[in-house]
Amino acid sequence: MAVFEMESWYVAEGKEEEHALAMRDWFQWVNDHRELFGEWKSVRYFEKTVAGEESGRHFLIWEYDSMAAFETYKKRRADYTGPYEEYKKHDPYYQGVFNHSGMKVEFWKDNDRDLWIE
């Protein structure tokens, strides 16, 4: 059963342009190094709009085949050694473009996927 890790945040005040560039850089780096992220089935990026006080919240949603796949990836990357040391340099989380005080992380499991319309 697939699981989804959802991380959300607001952009740090005055860092909108740097944030946009950091996100593009991160996606490009990850795409160039897909062999490091075999457990990721997909990664999707959204911004909430027309949502009142939640407008402007950004979301990354990672899809994994299972919680075991998620745990395998997180364990391998845990201390950011080896190739993940370079990954950390491209991770916007560490570049001062997120407002860390409002960050959220959630996990979702899919329900009735055979009924999904894709």
Q: Which residues of 6-26 are buried (b: 16+ CB within 10 A; e: fewer)?
A: eebbbbeeebeeebeebbeeb
What is the pLDDT at residue 66?
94
Please provide the average confidence, as pLDDT, over all residues in the chain: 95
Spatial neighbors of 14 by CB under 8 A, at least 6 apart, are none
What is the pLDDT at residue 53?
83
Q: Above 90 in pLDDT, residue 24?
A: yes
Q: Distance between CA 56 and CA 64 in Å, rounded?
A: 26
Mean per-residue pLDDT for 80-94? 96
Question: Among the residues of the chain, which ranges form H helices?
Answer: 16-32, 67-77, 83-90
What is the pLDDT at residue 74?
96
Classified by CATH at the fold level, domain 3-96 comes out as Alpha-Beta Plaits (3.30.70)
Q: Distance between CA 84 and CA 82 in Å, rounded?
A: 5
Helix (H, G, I), strand (E, B) or coil at 99: strand
Q: N- to C-terminal Cα distance for the chain?
A: 17
* 26-76 per-position pLDDT tens digit: 999 999 999 999 999 999 999 999 878 889 999 999 999 999 999 999 999
> Could you tell me if 11 and 58 are in contact, meaning their C-beta atoms sit under 8 angstroms apart?
yes
Q: Above 90 in pLDDT, residue 115?
A: yes
